[in-house]
Amino acid sequence: MLKAICHFLPALFISTSLLKAESEIKNVLLIVSDDLKASALGCYGNEICKTPNLDRLAARGMVFQRAYCQGTWCAPSRLSFMHSRYEGRAGKNMGAHFRDHGLHSARVGKIYHMRVPGDIIAGTDGQDIPSSWDEKFNTRGLEAHTPGDYACLNLNIFTKELDNRQSTKMPHRMFVSVEYQGDGSDQPDWKAADKTVALLQEHQSKPFFIATGFVRPHYPSVAPKQYFAKYPFADMPLPKVPANDLDDIPKPGLGQTLSQNSGISKWPANQKRMWSAYYATVTYMDEQLGKVLDQLDRLKLTDSTAIVFISDHGYHLGEHHFWQKSNLHVEVTRVPMIIAAPGMTPGFSQSATELMDIYPTLCSLLKLPTPKSVQGRNLVPVLQNPKTKVRSAALSLVRGSHCLRGDRWAYMRYRSGEEELYDMQNDPHQFANLASSEEHEDVRLKMHEQLKTRLKEIK
């Protein structure tokens, strides 16, 4: 990890005496990447994927190394962090609250749930909540129908033909990539960056809340060829999967898409192509982020704007033979979260945090009241001192099942009553389920009681 972040570490060792006095924060820029796993980023230790703009944002912000989503797929996660509720949409959403306190609120792209690719192709709102915004802009793209080199990697199909491509609601759409000749200006994330740049120019003189949603690296993995060229598939390492890895995982913990039932287990080279395509779209998304950060600097808004970068949840790319999301293992529940707030010292924090914490944190930074409906915690104390803890464990939920992630232990309990328990200190990749271990029975019981207590608290 140190090697991956050493190129921007010097910026983190700025003497606090040289930092500007805390600036008045007037504006918020919330940037949400779709299906982005924390472990894909340089500032989270990845030594392959190139994310220079996220790295420079990390250099001037707080990198939350143990941030977790609440919903483990798009719709519940986005509803959760926009309302700061574990489930549902009770209370006033973040955009509406900021509007009520004088900020101009604008959405660009996907913030609440949109079907990708369906709503991106159609340019429709998805599950947007209109009360959140003064104005909103959808970003369209052809997605899998982009002319170019199409692949459906679990079926081992490669073609330039536009007919019979896996797209909206089709069963193999999550294994699609398209490499094409172009500069990327036809893609939704380019359009999202351009619109955000324009909005910053237009609204620079008054307080604003701009929420920009990039759709990459969500499938289909579409990007110009030059981004794929950065990641030759033959060079992509595949995650280690021990023999019989699934034997100690209960059926509800297996997820819906496995290497074996999807067909991609037949094609190890195509598994590598999945990683190449994922990294290509991450780097493409990162370049679009760079345009937005450049505009903030150009307009001299950086010293009055709190910047938050997150993903809605993580993603599996063959770890444990899993693909996609919607389960409770660490590659899905752990998310990138970077908060760059003027006047705060940059750094890294190991404090357990949740995406729900963004709403109350921004209220605090803006010196606004926090609605009583909010269930998240204010992270400003962590921004001031990364060793501060605001909670002992983070909670994630999916369809009546739960994961509680403490400092050392990750505990999953499914609606069926089946369990998983992992020692994240000695087994960070979650290979050995200790839930049935007599040696760890006390830990399991303790974590179960902690989970029951948390669930009572959030009702």
Q: pLDDT (tens digit, 9 = 90+) per residue, 72-95?
A: 999 999 999 999 999 999 999 999
DSSP for residue 237: P
Per the omega criterion (within 30 degrees of 0), is the bond before 360 cis? no
Q: Is the pLDDT of residue 300 over 70?
A: yes
Q: CB under 8 Å to 282, separation ≥6 — which residues?
A: 36, 40, 41, 49, 51, 216, 217
- Rounded to whole angstroms, the maximal C-alpha distance in the chain is 63
More confident residue, 220 or 13: 220
Render pLDDT for 242-254 as a digit per residue (tens, 0 to 9). Answer: 999 999 999 999 9
Instruction: Let me know if residue 448 belongs to a domain.
Output: no
Amino acid making up residue 279: Y
Could you give the number of structural domains in the chain? 1
The overall average pLDDT reported for the chain is 95
* C-alpha to C-alpha distance for 320 and 264, rounded to whole angstroms: 13
Q: Is the pLDDT of residue 416 over 90?
A: yes
Instruction: Let me know if residue 271 belongs to a domain.
Output: yes
pLDDT confidence bin for 2, thresholds 50/70/90: very low
Q: Is the pLDDT of residue 3 over 60?
A: no
Question: What pLDDT is attached to residue 1?
Answer: 41
Burial of 284 (0-12, 13-18, 19+ CB in 10 A): buried
Domain hosting residue 70, numbered range: 27-384
Instruction: Let me know if residue 2 belongs to a domain.
Output: no
Q: Is the pLDDT of residue 18 over 50?
A: no
Instruction: Let me know if residue 146 belongs to a domain.
Output: yes
Q: Is the pLDDT of residue 6 over 90?
A: no
| Torsion, CA 439, CA 445, CA 446, CA 448, rounded to 10 | 140
Instruction: Let me know if residue 40 belongs to a domain.
Output: yes
CATH number at residue 316: 3.40.720.10
Mean pLDDT of 54-62: 97
**Count of beta carbons in the 10 Å neighbourhood of residue 137:** 17
Half-sphere CA count of 413, side-chain side, radius 13 A: 15
What is the per-residue burial (b if ≥16 Cβ within 10 Å, else e) of 40-77?
bbbbbebeebbbebbbbbbbbbbbbbbbbbbbbbbebb
* C-alpha to C-alpha distance for 192 and 115, rounded to whole angstroms: 16
DSSP for residue 179: E
* C-alpha to C-alpha distance for 212 and 332, rounded to whole angstroms: 22
Helices (H) and strands (E) in the chain, counts: 13, 21
Mean pLDDT of 287-305: 98
Mean pLDDT of 189-195: 98
Mean pLDDT of 29-34: 98
Mean pLDDT of 120-137: 98
Instruction: Let me know if residue 357 belongs to a domain.
Output: yes
Question: What pLDDT is attached to residue 459?
Answer: 79
Whole-angstrom CA distances from 248 to 87, 148, 396, 445 are 29, 42, 21, 19
Instruction: Let me know if residue 419 belongs to a domain.
Output: no
Instruction: Let me know if residue 425 belongs to a domain.
Output: no
